[in-house]
Amino acid sequence: MRGTITIVDKGNVRVHSYMAPETGLNVTTQLIETPSLLIAVDGQVNVADADEVVEYAKGLGKPLDRLIVTHAHPDHFQGAGRFNVPIHALEIVREQMAARGDLQDLNGVPIPAAEMAPTDLITPGTEVIDGVPFVFEAVSGGETTDQLLIRLPEHGVLVAQDLVYHHTHLFVGNDDIARWQVILESLAADPAYDTILPGHGLPAGPAVLAENAEYLRVASELLGDDGEAYKQAIIARFPALGVPFVIDISNFYLFGTRPA
């Protein structure tokens, strides 16, 4: 297996967290196992990694009920069609995904827009799925313009996806660091969640929120008008973090510097 599976056991809910290898930007798909079914959250950037998630899910012996796409960054939905289940998303996220049109993954595999298009809309609020309450929240600003946050309040699980990164460099290309810091402060102020599931990286505890906040503080200080200078400076400050290519993607959005 190219990716890494981490299992978080919460009694009648188990989370199988699949982190893609660095060639797949450490994108993380969450497979939430309830008593009788599976719910996938985010669909990978590379088709091959999505296929690996699906193959792993088949081995769990429960039907895959749906795929939830949390936001319209292609690294989280390009493999969505490989799951062969209804694709759920916020209405605004569906519109943003459609605007991107046809895409291709990092290996050059073409992906028609129709394969990735959400089929079902998520309404913010609480939905009980297989006896488990899922709280869906729409979050604006920060890492991207619009994103879905999922809480499992009975199990202390926060499916944060790209509101949180773990042991990887953060994408700051949305140029909204101040708002992102506010979001992290709000999440950190709620002690009810001991398990944080990031969109890039392995499952973490609440300390990851402070780690992300510190990264954003430093990034805000270092960002100027020279993307390469920023890249070298942020790597020097956080040498242990993975996927520096994320910095190149940020620089493309911020400065128009195309990743090598």
Q: What is the pLDDT of residues 76-121, one digit of tens each?
A: 999 999 999 999 999 999 999 999 999 999 999 999 999 999 999 9
Burial category of 35 from C-beta neighbours within 10 Å (exposed 0-12, middle 13-18, buried 19 and up): exposed
Positive or negative: CA dihedral 161, 162, 166, 168:
positive
pLDDT at 253 over 70: yes
**C-alpha pair distances (Å), 70 with each of 113, 121, 128, 222:** 17, 11, 18, 29
How many DSSP H helices and E strands does the chain contain?
7, 14
pLDDT score for 257? 75
Q: What is the pLDDT of residues 37-79, one digit of tens each?
A: 999 999 999 999 999 999 999 999 999 999 999 999 999 999 9
pTM of the model: 0.97
Distance CA 193, CA 206 (A): 7
Mean pLDDT of 166-175: 98
pLDDT at 260 over 70: no
**C-alpha pair distances (Å), 238 with each of 35, 84, 167, 214, 228:** 40, 39, 9, 10, 15
Positive or negative: CA dihedral 132, 197, 31, 108:
positive
Q: Which two tokens stand for residue 165?
A: 């990164």
Q: What is the pLDDT of residues 175-232, one digit of tens each?
A: 999 999 999 999 999 999 999 999 999 999 999 999 999 999 999 999 999 999 999 9
3-state secondary structure (DSSP) of residue 83: helix
Distance CA 57, CA 16 (A): 9
Residue 259's pLDDT band (cuts 50, 70, 90): confident
> Which of 19-23, 107-111, 148-152, 255-259 has the lowest average pLDDT?
255-259
Report all structural domains of the chain as residue ranges with CATH numbers, in order of start.
4-255 (3.60.15.10)
DSSP 190-228: -TT--EEEEEESS-B-THHHHHHHHHHHHHHHH-SS-HH
**C-alpha pair distances (Å), 249 with each of 111, 112, 173, 174, 258:** 20, 22, 7, 11, 8
Mean pLDDT of 128-140: 98
Mean pLDDT of 241-248: 97
